[in-house]
């Protein structure tokens, strides 16, 4: 790609969170940077949309606290404004809503589990903070849970918690390292739902001084620049631009039904124990709707052979929380990508992912949720963006020195 203006020091393809954060690092270092985005608006999976007074993210989004994402955003001066969702809720097993075991007291009180299951789950939750996740990198979630739980019902709940924490419903593929890391954060520092949606992060990054975002610009060859960062999403899109392929795990997907409600749902949280469904009242933690109204979402986590079932998603929402006459508006995301490449047990978990410099080209780097050995979901996105930006800055300065 070429044009009449001088090329930037660093060109970034893709204006999602990875591309925008990398651009912020480059601009802060005093180098020129252009970000090319084929869509009309930047943001990628972090874009939010407004409908009838409700702010909808691209499916369920939670920022895990204490990880690379929070650290990188704080380093860049991005305000993280949100609230922690309530943990008290409902667990559905065999079609029956019961009290979810969100803590020691509710674990004792719930009727969803027998005493043997309660003891097993309680023991697992007590051991989790001390587990060395890396020791499970080559173990699948299926294998780990089979070893850790004595009954089918306890295993069902453990699988449900893993789906919730990882956004992945493929336990034979997913590395248990990722499951343990995510559960440790969820049960420790916790997560945030962001006021104004994830668009609040996009807006803060895109308007940083020195960042030239060129939306509506399709890129099919690498731009002219001293260094290039490819941050276009998953391995297929990246490989197409780099003319190479990557050995990674498959993508994880989900189907989402967002609700705009005239009154609060009956519960703030519900989790399918033996079915891959989840419900959350996002307005219980974040400002995503006009006063007196509420935003909630129901999700079906899709396995490798699953098809979206919007009727089943709606039925789950009605069973646990949503009254039909309270629905003001809704939106369906039939099949959305939650993880562009699952970290697999066969490839050694997080350490088996490609590195930011594994492009096969000098001074060309990549970033995304499937790149680098650090973190899952947005933690991986922003950790790889930071490393790719640092490598690009070094490449620019090395070329200037000759």
Share of the chain above pLDDT 70, in %: 99
Rounded CA separation 48/328 (Å): 19
Q: What is the dihedral of CA 277, 281, 282, 286, to 10 degrees?
A: -160
Rounded CA separation 303/176 (Å): 17
Flag whether pLDDT at 5 surpasses 90: no
Residue whose pair of structure tokens reads 């049960």 in the numeric block: 187
CB neighbours of residue 45 within 10 Å: 21
- pLDDT score recorded for residue 110: 84
Beta carbons of 23 and 33 less than 8 angstroms apart: yes
Query: Could you tell me the pLDDT band of residue 402, with boundaries at 50, 70 and 90?
Result: confident
Q: What is the average pLDDT across 331-360?
A: 98
Q: Is 239 helix (H, G, I), strand (E, B) or coil?
A: helix
Closest CA to 260 of 285, 286, 295: 295
Beta carbons of 345 and 179 less than 8 angstroms apart: no
Share of the chain above pLDDT 90, in %: 87
Q: What is the average pLDDT across 242-253?
A: 97
Token pair belonging to 402: 């000759």
- pLDDT score recorded for residue 3: 52
Q: Which fold has domain 251-339?
A: Alpha-Beta Plaits (3.30.70)
Query: Could you tell me the pLDDT band of residue 4, with boundaries at 50, 70 and 90?
Result: low
What are the C-alpha distances in Å from 144 to residues 126, 175, 353? Answer: 16, 9, 21
Token pair belonging to 371: 């790149």
Q: What is the pLDDT of residues 40-49, one digit of tens each?
A: 999 999 999 9
- pLDDT score recorded for residue 85: 92
How is the chain split into domains, by residue range? Answer: 10-82+195-248+348-401, 102-186, 251-339
Rounded CA separation 269/279 (Å): 6
10-82+195-248+348-401 and 251-339 share one fold? no
Token pair belonging to 147: 């070893």
Flag whether pLDDT at 243 surpasses 80: yes
- pLDDT score recorded for residue 59: 86
pTM, 2 dp:
0.95
Nearby residues of 343 by Cβ (< 8 Å), 6 or more positions away: 174, 175, 177, 178, 249, 349, 350, 352, 353, 376
Q: What is the average pLDDT across 328-341?
A: 97
Query: Could you tell me the pLDDT band of residue 63, with boundaries at 50, 70 and 90?
Result: very high
**Average pLDDT, whole number, for the chain?**
95
Flag whether pLDDT at 2 surpasses 70: no
Flag whether pLDDT at 308 surpasses 80: yes
Q: Is 72 helix (H, G, I), strand (E, B) or coil?
A: helix
Closest CA to 171 of 140, 199, 195, 214: 140
Q: What is the average pLDDT across 70-74?
A: 98
Estimate the crossing angle of helix 176-187 against helix 152-166, to 10 degrees.
80
Regarding the domain with residue range 10-82+195-248+348-401, which homologous superfamily does it belong to in the CATH classification?
A: FAD/NAD(P)-binding domain (3.50.50.60)
């Amino acid at each position: 790609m070429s044009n009449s203006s001088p090329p930037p020091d660093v060109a970034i393809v893709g204006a999602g969170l990875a591309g925008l954060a990398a651009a912020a690092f480059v601009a802060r270092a005093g180098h020129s940077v252009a970000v090319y985005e084929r869509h009309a608006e930047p943001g990628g999976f972090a874009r939010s949309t407004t409908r009838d007074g409700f702010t909808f993210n691209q499916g369920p989004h939670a920022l895990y606290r204490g990880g690379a994402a929070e650290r990188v955003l704080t380093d860049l001066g991005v305000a993280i404004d949100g609230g922690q969702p309530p943990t008290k809720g409902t667990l559905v097993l065999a079609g029956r809503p019961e009290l979810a075991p969100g803590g020691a007291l509710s674990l004792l009180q719930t009727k969803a589990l027998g005493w043997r299951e309660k003891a097993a789950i309680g023991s697992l939750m007590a051991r989790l903070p001390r587990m060395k996740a890396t020791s499970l990198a080559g173990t699948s979630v299926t294998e780990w849970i089979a070893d850790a739980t004595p009954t089918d019902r306890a295993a069902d709940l453990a699988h449900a918690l893993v789906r919730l924490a990882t956004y992945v419903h493929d336990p034979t593929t997913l590395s248990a390292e990722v499951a343990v890391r995510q559960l440790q954060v969820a049960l420790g520092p916790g997560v945030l739902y962001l006021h104004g949606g994830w668009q609040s992060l996009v807006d803060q990054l895109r308007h940083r001084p020195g960042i030239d975002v060129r939306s509506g610009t399709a890129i099919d060859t690498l731009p002219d620049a001293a260094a290039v960062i490819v941050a276009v999403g998953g391995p297929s899109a990246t490989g197409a631009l780099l003319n190479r392929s990557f050995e990674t795990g498959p993508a994880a997907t989900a189907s989402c039904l967002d609700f705009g409600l005239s009154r609060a749902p009956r519960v703030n949280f519900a989790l399918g124990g033996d079915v891959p469904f989840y419900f959350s009242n996002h307005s219980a933690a974040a400002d995503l709707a006009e006063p007196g109204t509420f935003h909630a979402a129901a999700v079906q986590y899709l396995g490798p052979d699953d098809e979206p079932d919007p009727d089943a998603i709606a039925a789950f929402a009605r069973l646990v929380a949503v009254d039909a006459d309270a629905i003001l508006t809704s939106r369906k995301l039939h099949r959305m990508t939650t993880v562009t490449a699952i970290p697999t047990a066969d490839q050694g978990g997080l350490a088996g992912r490609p590195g930011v410099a594994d492009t096969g080209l000098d001074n060309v780097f990549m970033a995304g949720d499937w790149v680098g050995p650090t973190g899952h979901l947005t933690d991986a996105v922003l950790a790889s963006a930071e490393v790719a930006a640092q490598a690009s800055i070094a490449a620019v300065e090395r070329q200037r020195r000759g």
